[in-house]
Amino acid sequence: KKCEQYWPEIGKEIAFGNITVGNINHTTFADYTFRTFYVTCDQESRK
């Protein structure tokens, strides 16, 4: 394996202290996969 999965599955969240990472969706192409995440820290969220 070239890479271990350290991000959450689609629709799931992982918390790292006061930071939460959620996986919104993904699109698979021939050579890569594009994933969209949101990150929340102390109730401030960004995509």
1-12 per-position pLDDT tens digit: 677 888 899 999
pLDDT tens-digit readout, 16-38: 999 999 999 999 999 999 999 99
Assigned domain for 32 exists: yes
Residue 1 located in a structural domain: no
Tally of domains within the chain: 1
Q: Is 35 inside a domain boundary?
A: yes
Which structural domain range is residue 33 located in? 13-46
Cβ contact 40:33 at 8 Å: no
- In the chain, the DSSP E strands lie at 13-16, 19-28, 33-41, 44-46
